[in-house]
Structure 1
Amino acid sequence: MPTLNLKVNGISHWVKIAGQGPPILALHGGPGGNHFVFEHTTGPMLEKFRKLIYLESRGCGRSQRPTNGDWSIPALLSDLDEVLTQLELPEVTLFGNSFGGGLATTYALTRPQRVKTLILQAPWWFGMDVASHQISGFLPLLPPALRTEVQSLLLHQPARDTLEFIWSQIEGDVADRFLFEDLQVAALNRQLWEESGLVNTGEMHDFLLQHPPDPIHHRLGELSCPTLVLLGKHDRNIPVAQTLTLASSIPNCKGVVFENSAHFPDLEEALRFVQAIKDFLLPT
């Protein structure tokens, strides 16, 4: 299981390769997340039938921070180009989780010749307005005083600003209940994050607030590769109904909804999640 530090566009990128078979390159969520939880939980299950390439983006996880402060989508796409070139992969299956799903989809739209298939877990397709959905998911979970304050703020400022305020005020237990249905799985997720010693600095998030990605949600019909979209029924982070409607515009797309999951079906229903990917990649 080699772990590499690839020098890409002047930045050292952490890459881990494990497993056997045709390659899947995995892009993590965030923005600003990492692969530690995935590589210690569901990733090894996928490695049993695919070579998995874990890539942590510039300034994320164990990759080097860009000294020029460039966290833009074009820079991330250029990094991915160079990673695939250095690994001698003319085409690849891309797996993207949440923000990584938006990045993977953008790559498939702009470099279709390099993407064989696309697997997207709860993708944030750039241009989707998710702030109102997320606030609706948070409200029942907030302490009464904070809930009242949030409802007042919504009358006077944009939903996006109110959402930023919520994230700045909540405790870990609220975040866990927002992102997960099964609180034991949430506890495992938090335990692994703490074990990793890795942090999301927020720099990529802040950069993208000031430099929003070009919208892609209206371009999904241009995708030319087979696509699998995986969603938790109770996702409070990504609007499931809207995502399924958008996915229906993709010419060759299959959607799978996990009945007992929120934003992380890969953790909450890992066996079924892996089987769905296996069925997609290795149809009988």
Structure 2
Amino acid sequence: MREEGFVNVTGGKIWYELHNKDASGTPVIVLHGGPGSSSYSLQGLKELSKDRPVILYDQLGCGRSDRPKDESLWRIERFVEELGQIREALKLDEVHILGHSWGTTLAAAYALTQPSGVKSIIFSSPCLSAPLWEQDQKRNIEKLPEDVQETITRCEENGTTDSEEFKKAIEEFNKNFVCRLDPYPEWLKEGRKYRNPEVYEIMWGPSEFTVMGNLKTFDCTSQLKEISFSTLYTCGRYDEATPESTEYYSSLTPNSNFHVFEHSAHMPYVEETEEYLRVIGDFLKSVE
């Protein structure tokens, strides 16, 4: 019921896995976060394959895909092109798209090219405006202990975001706004080896909180009214993709739905797995 392989895209080969190819429902393709992360943490979404084919893939530059050294590849336009190439190679004439975090940035940019055959998009913990994301993180930081706030501010100002004290401050931030499970699942830690920090730094920057990469000016909020197919916006109550911003994006999008996972931060698909699968599954069925 599972196949895996590689697809040729601009710049190299990307790895994919396809679950339940022969299921009757419209396939859903999953766009992971990052940039430069991988599909590793999203493996639980294969449970959606009870009703439809599920495709996960590692974007070029990370995970099990090729890691070319050409820095010009790390721009959103190429990732949009890559998604189209994957759909063509796997013959995904009709598809649902589920993007998480940076995956929603990619999903929105792709949707705005007006591709054919897209039935719906799920914007899971969305980042559709880099400036707004940055503002939200400044407010989130203010909710942390003062010593943690001071460390983050000082390290960013001094360019020491690779220091141990900054990493410890990030851990505190992550416990509050990324994944609130305690203890943090051991299996998730294994996924770190699939990341490529170079892609992240070129596109986003050396820090989560201040966008310095080539996505610095990305903001598609004024174009969300152009997305005509069904959409679902979701986030966690304590998400770094804040409920306020997520609901704002939803309000700008026609034919849109909005849902908050009350016991989650940025990873409700791990923090509230059963509820996440239920909400996503029900939405996909309602579209069909």
Q: Same fold (TM over 0.5)?
A: yes
Give the match for residue 232 of structure 2.
Answer: 228
Give the match for residue 15 of structure 2.
Answer: 14
Give the match for residue 54 of structure 2.
Answer: 52
Give the match for residue 67 of structure 1.
Answer: 69
Shift of 1:7: 1.6
Q: Answer yes or no: is 1:37 the counterpart of 2:41.
A: yes
Give the match for residue 158 of structure 1.
Answer: none
Query: Separation in 2 of the partners of 1:59 and 1:91?
Result: 26
Among 129, 133, 138, which residue is 1:130 paired with? 133
SS of residue in 1 equivalent to 2:61: coil
Instruction: Letter of the 2:60 partner, please give it.
Output: R
Q: What 5-or-longer segments of structure 2 have no aligned partner?
A: 204-211
Give the match for residue 204 of structure 1.
Answer: 199
Query: Separation in 2 of the partners of 1:130 and 1:105?
Result: 15
For 1:49-81, what per-residue CA distance to the aligned partner results, in whole angstroms no more than 9, with x for missing partners?
221100211101111113322111111111111
Instruction: Letter of the 1:277 partner, please give it.
Output: I
Among 155, 167, 170, which residue is 1:170 paired with? 167
Query: Separation in 2 of the partners of 1:281 and 1:204?
Result: 31
Instruction: Letter of the 1:37 partner, please give it.
Output: S
Query: Separation in 2 of the partners of 1:195 and 1:132?
Result: 31
SS of residue in 2 equivalent to 1:221: helix
TM-score for both structures, normalised by structure 1: 0.85
Shift of 1:173: 4.0
TM-score for both structures, normalised by structure 2: 0.84
| CA spacing shift, 1:3–1:259, aligned 2, 3 Å | same
Q: Answer yes or no: is 1:180 the counterpart of 2:192.
A: no
For 1:21-41, what per-residue CA distance to the aligned partner results, in whole angstroms no more than 9, with x for missing partners?
3210100001111111211xx
SS of residue in 2 equivalent to 1:65: coil
For 1:92-112, what per-residue CA distance to the aligned partner results, in whole angstroms no more than 9, with x for missing partners?
111000000110111111133
Q: Number of paired residues?
A: 269
Give the match for residue 223 of structure 2.
Answer: 219
SS of residue in 1 equivalent to 2:68: coil
Give the match for residue 241 of structure 1.
Answer: 244
Query: Separation in 1 of the partners of 2:261 and 2:200?
Result: 28
Query: Separation in 2 of the partners of 1:126 and 1:25?
Result: 22
Among 261, 266, 273, which residue is 1:263 paired with? 266
Percent of pairs identical after alignment? 27
SS of residue in 1 equivalent to 2:252: coil
Query: Separation in 2 of the partners of 1:131 and 1:162?
Result: 15
Q: What 5-or-longer segments of structure 1 have no aligned partner?
A: 155-160
Query: Separation in 2 of the partners of 1:50 and 1:164?
Result: 47
